Structure 1
């Protein structure tokens, strides 16, 4: 009997720890990415191509911190999803889409750095700001479209009452 009580107390502590960590990480994600975006917004010098990629990453992470992480706190605490099927599908879609945007953006950063190292004399003509902005728009649109099917097919956990 005492062992069962210990296990229940231990799971409560574990759930509370998860919820607190998710909350702290959520606040850190939002504040750090707001700082990055504010830095770019207030920078008066010439912008480099790499800054557009980094700004895209910061926006994706900020959206994750604002729109996905908050919905993870209550389920971590209680083990139940209380927000309904639509919110479940939407947060799942956002999480996967923002993850895809981050991965694709890291890919473009790799291409950018590769060109800067391997073709330094042609880098300025190959990697223009306009081209970079087009790639970022393409990245966001393609990620949003490619991640749509889970919205239609995903089964969200039912509420246990």
Structure 2
């Protein structure tokens, strides 16, 4: 019986039917557990962000300039769950790439583009909260509809343009000579020089981390000062209501108090989202920074990448936990109350606990 020569492509395709590409690194039970855990994370990411998008799109009370940016961020997180995480799951579990070189480049393009788009969205949200808290009187002039549209366009098209070299693979020399060092010839790899990883990959994250940390430090200082004012205003309202039966006089004070609390609540929620996102991706960028050639660190890169992906699933939990209108909207959508009433779009979401 003649020996059959198996080429690199045959190796991966033949192994696919045995659910393994290279020498086994997972037992069947470990692979099942990994697939179950990652699939749960993907479903949580997709369904949670669909819940955010549906709530903002449906309820008029949530259709503020800030929440429009939050909706756009949810779309980016949704695309991570739909277009990036499933393919990354296949690479992580089966250690092989079954979809060809173009889709390999496309997956890296979407991964990098959506990650940086999220960072830019968070920067826009931080700027919006900074103006709303620190310069509330000029907020309508500084954050207009045109400003929001411009920031969102930059947040989408900027990362797409910046990531386009990955899609066209304009420098094939980056990966030449490296493909044979791995156990499976059909891995989906994208090799770049150390300086490009540092400049293109790490610098945007570090600059965003420093900028948003400064912005939210300023917000925190102003918010604390305004918090003391809220307490003072609350005492004034209580005293005036005890002294007179008519409620017309303290109305302006109550309105200022309510508006200030609403802005602080939004700043707290969005600040938590920014903090979780930056902390989730910090381990990945630490690995990239200290192991720029990824030597002996491929497992660390995979693990820290998935830690970063988790941030896309956490945002809906933060909205539901920290923001009462969103929590009320989520309950209304999940319980299908939006289908039972024609007035659901205009229902008051702030009074439901």
2:123 is aligned to 107
Which of the pair has more CA radius of gyration?
2
Residues 23-53 of structure 1: CA deviation (Å, up to 9, x unaligned): 1111111000111111111112373211111
Query: What CA distance in whole angstroms lies between the structure 1 residues aligned with 2:119 and 2:137?
Result: 28
Structure showing greater relative contact order (alpha-carbon pairs closer than 8 Å, 6 or more residues apart): 1
Contact 2:76 2:117 in 1 (8 A): yes
> How much does 1:10 deviate?
7.5
Distance 1:113 1:70 in 2: 34
Matching residue of 2:54? 38
Contact kept, 8 Å, 1:22 with 1:72, in 2: the verdict is no
User: Which residue of structure 2 aligns with residue 144 of structure 1?
Assistant: 160
Instruction: Give SS of 1:62's match.
Output: helix
Among candidates 26, 30, 44, match of residue 11 of structure 1: 26
CA contact (8 A) 1:52 1:133 kept: no
- Partners of 2:32 and 2:93 lie apart in 1 by 6
Contact 1:30 1:65 (C-alpha < 8 Å) held by counterparts: yes
**Consecutive unaligned residues in structure 2, runs of 5 or more:** 1-22, 180-184, 188-353
Measure, in 2, the Cα distance between the counterparts of 1:94 and 1:9.
Answer: 29
CA distance in 1, matches of 2:186, 2:32: 20
Identify which of 71, 78, 88 aligns with 2:104. Answer: 88
Q: Is the 8 A contact 1:29 1:61 kept in 2?
A: yes
CA RMSD of aligned residues (A): 2.3
Distance 2:166 2:139 in 1: 39
SS for the counterpart of 1:82 is coil
1:55 to 68, 71, 76: 71
Deviation digits for residues 90-136 of structure 1 (CA, Å, limit 9, x no counterpart): 01100110001100011111111111121111011111122101210
TM superposition score normalised by structure 2: 0.40
The structure-2 alpha-carbon separation of the partners of 1:44 and 1:74, relative to structure 1 and needing over 3 Å to count, comes to same
Q: 1:56-79: per-residue Cα shift (whole Å, max 9, x none)?
A: 110001111111111123222221
Distance 2:157 2:63 in 1: 24
Contact 1:105 1:136 in 2 (8 A): yes
Equivalent residue number for residue 5 of structure 1: none
Q: How many residues align?
A: 153
* Matches of 1:132 and 1:77, distance apart in 2: 40
- What is the rounded CA distance, in whole Å, between the counterparts of 1:46 and 1:106 in structure 2? 18
Corresponding residue for residue 21 of structure 1: 37
